[in-house]
Amino acid sequence: MADEKSPRTRHGEPLKGPKQGRKKTGKPVIRASEIGAYTYCRRAWWLRRVGGFEPEGRHQLFEKGQQAHTRHGRTFRRSQRQRRVAFLLLAFGLLLVGLAVLNFLTTIT
C-alpha cells in the first residue's frame, strides 16, 4: 500500500514508477499502443510511462472509440449484406439475359 506522503497524480492515485510495464525479469515491456503513443507525442508517452500521469477525459475517449468501432462494425456488416444482394441480383439479371437470348434464338429457327 502506498505511503500517504508518496507523490500522487492529480486524481489522488499514487504515481507509478519506472517499473510499470516490466516482466518478472525486470526488462521493460513495450506494447504496440505505446509505440503509437510515443510516435504521436514523446512527452505525453514519457509522462504516462514514467510519471504515471493520465490525460483527463481518457475514459470518455475510450467510450467514444468503442462507439466508433461498434458503428464501423454495423456499417461493415451492412455493406457485406448489400454486396451479397448485389451479386444475387447480378446473377438473376444474367440468368434473365440468358433466357432472353435463348428465347430469341429459338424464335428465329
56-102 pLDDT per residue, tens: 777 888 888 899 999 999 999 999 999 999 999 999 999 999 999 99
Calculate the average pLDDT of the chain: 81
Query: Coil, strand, or helix at residue 7?
Result: coil
Lowest mean pLDDT among 3-7, 37-41, 47-51, 53-57: 3-7
The reported pLDDT for the residue numbered 31 is 82
**Of 21, 27, 10, whose CA–CA distance to 46 is shortest?**
21
The reported pLDDT for the residue numbered 87 is 98
CA dihedral 95, 97, 98, 99 (to 10 degrees): 90
**In this predicted model, which residue has the larger pLDDT, 5 or 42?**
42
The reported pLDDT for the residue numbered 2 is 47
Query: Count of CB atoms within 10 A of residue 48's CB?
Result: 19
What is the rounded CA–CA span in Å between residue 97 and residue 90? 10
What is the rounded CA–CA span in Å between residue 51 and residue 64? 26
Instruction: Kindly list the distances between the CA atom of residue 8 and the CA atoms of 11, 33, 45, 58, 108, in Å, as whole numbers in the listed order.
Output: 8, 24, 18, 18, 91
